[in-house]
Amino acid sequence: MDNRVDYNGLNTAVKVAETGSFVRAAEQLRLPVSTVSARVQALERHLRVRLFHRSTRRVRLTEAGQLFFERARAGSEAFDDAIEAATRLSERPHGLLRVVAPALFARHVLPRLLPRFLDKYPDLTLSFECTNVLPDLVECGADVGIGVGPTRWAAYVRRPLFSFSQAVYASPQFVARWGNPAKPEDLAALPLLSVGTQPTVSWALVDGSNQRSIEARARVSANDVSAVHGLALSGIGAALLPEQLCEEDLGRGTLVKLLESWGTQPLAVSAYYPRRMLEPGKVKVFLDYLKEWYAKPKGL
């Protein structure tokens, strides 16, 4: 048997295996489903082995397919990296960059980040999916994800970007009605706002070496930081919010910081992308620019 394998067929089969779907593979490769299917069938004929179990609902690797995929993916990624390394110096980043990011990032960072970035890289177009839970990037076809804290996708490359701290904020009207707590334990007696889907508050506050845990029932909860920020401005509760998000509110006097010296430990914001030897050029320039931009004082 001729051991030379068509790279297009190999890359297509790897994409089908990664996504678990001929349709999703076709979408990510920007090919007709019929072309994807034909390439995989041609590869199976060449290898004289079936790589996938196919059904109307799902696609699964056969035993032979699993063995082939484990080795073929490394070869496919190495080939892509070789192309990337060879062209990176001579080509400007171009094409579509798909980014998954929290809604807070999209609302408060993108309007200030993107204008100069797009001027600098006119051949790039960007697509953002806003979600507070980092999905499987391969399955959703994203190039890079932005996430806070640890991710369940340990197979991804993690690149730290920046960090931020949080503190407890409330409106002046709230303080006038409920008073300003003297110590962290006093928070439990106040109407509190929670970021999440559960009506509970679980805050870990620090002041130097002092630590306090606040466990209480939330008066209102919402799974979006911007929504909770708006609720705090309305005066119905106190909320744990990113310090950078509240800087302008402090300056305008629309929010006040409770327990002035207390806050949270810094939370790490990182970028994640599928494991490869090299960052794709368009991913690298975006993350480099984001990290450099955030190092300049401006707030979240």
CATH number at residue 226: 3.40.190.290
In this predicted structure, what is the pLDDT of residue 281? 82
Task: Please list the rounded mean pLDDT of every run of 10 residues in the chain (300 residues).
Answer: 64 85 88 90 86 78 82 65 53 84 86 91 92 80 84 73 93 97 96 92 95 95 93 97 93 96 93 70 89 70
Question: What pLDDT, on the 0 to 100 scale, is given for residue 5?
Answer: 59
Tokens for 258?
Answer: 């409770």
Residue with tokens 């690298």: 284
The domain spanning residue 76 has which CATH number?
1.10.10.10
With CA atoms as reference, report the closest residue to 46 among 6, 103, 104: 6
CA angle 4, 281, 39 (to 5 degrees): 30
Round the CA-based radius of gyration of the chain to a whole number and report it.
Answer: 24
Q: Is residue 180 one of the residues assigned to a domain?
A: yes
Query: Does any domain span residue 13?
Result: yes
Clarify whether residues 65 and 193 are in a common domain. Answer: no
Alpha-carbon distance of 9 to 29, in angstroms, equals 12
- Given 72, 88, 104, which residue is the final one in a domain? 88
Residue 197: per-residue pLDDT:
85
- Residue range of the domain that includes 123: 95-163+267-295
pLDDT at 80: 62
The total of other beta-carbon atoms located within 10 Å of residue 184's CB is 20
Using N-to-C axis directions, what is the helix angle for 63-88 and 7-19, rounded to 10°? 110
Is residue 172 domain-shared with residue 253, that is, in the same domain?
Answer: yes
| 262 lies in some domain | no
Pairing of strands 192-195, 238-242: parallel
Domain count, the chain: 3
Between the two ends of the chain, the Cα-to-Cα distance in Å is 59
CATH of the domain at 107: 3.40.190.10
Of 240, 234, 196, nearest to 214 (Cα)?
240
Please state, in angstroms and rounded to a whole number, the distance separating the CA atoms of residues 285 and 64. 39
Answer yes or no: is 73 within a domain.
yes
272 and 159 housed in the same domain: yes
Dihedral sign for Cα 174, 176, 179, 182, please: positive
| 158 shares its domain with 173 | no
300, part of any domain: no
